[in-house]
Amino acid sequence: MNPKIDERIKEEYEAKITGKFKIKIGNKTVAKGKNKWTRYFASSIVEFVITPLTLVRSMDDYSDYNWVCVRGLSRGCTAKAGNDTSTPTSPDTSELVSKIDIAPDTQNVVIFKESDYTEYSSRHTFTWNPGTIPPQTIGEFGVYLLLTSDAWTSPAENPSFARFFGGCVATGRSGPDIMPISSPASRLGARISSGDGDFDPIDYTSEEALILEWYVVIKF
């Protein structure tokens, strides 16, 4: 390939997926930077891209028909804080080292796009109200998404992100219609930690709200 064309492709057409964060105490930003991804996030993105259809059974079976729906990665999304201040994140990290198992009081999602269509992003905001998390040292955060494990053997041909349970109205077939290579569940997708140097440990007093803003940015 022409070196100039090759360099142009590298500079102008390389896409990047970045996870960014801000940590706030009340209205004050105390830290910001980039998260570390887990293998579950990477595996799920690849699986979701290649899956033609994601089907699940309705939660309510009031008739003979089984409604179906698509479940996105943020179904059941949440965040948790943790106490560990020294353990770095590795690709096979599957959980916070010392999790404070207290869910945020509120969460909100917003999406953005640039006018020149070169950047798209989302922002999840997780808020723990004053008093929700008792006073303690906070050294890590985790964002949990609907992710699959990567327990499958490579290469896996024609896999699916989820499965269909019950009868299929369109075809009359029953039973598992689409088989997954690994069942989606709430799994750690991103970790932000003092052990990685992402932020200095926080001596949280619980007097003000603790807020985590988590961004996924796709830029190309």
Domain boundaries, the chain: 17-52+76-108+125-156+185-208
Q: What is the pTM of this model?
A: 0.80
pLDDT value of residue 50: 73
E strands in the chain: 16-25, 28-34, 36-37, 78-82, 99-100, 106-113, 119-128, 136-138, 140-147, 185-193, 202-204, 210-219
More confident of the two residues 9 and 149: 149
| Model confidence pLDDT, tens digit, residues 95-146 | 999 999 999 999 999 999 999 888 899 999 999 999 999 999 999 999 999 8
Supply the DSSP symbol for 73.
Answer: T
CA nearest neighbour of 121 among 14, 11, 18, 12:
18
Place 168 in a pLDDT band, splitting at 50, 70 and 90. Answer: very low
Share of the chain above pLDDT 90, in %: 52
Place 172 in a pLDDT band, splitting at 50, 70 and 90. Answer: very low
**159 HSE (CA, 13 A, CB side):** 25
- Using DSSP, state whether 122 is helix, strand or coil: strand
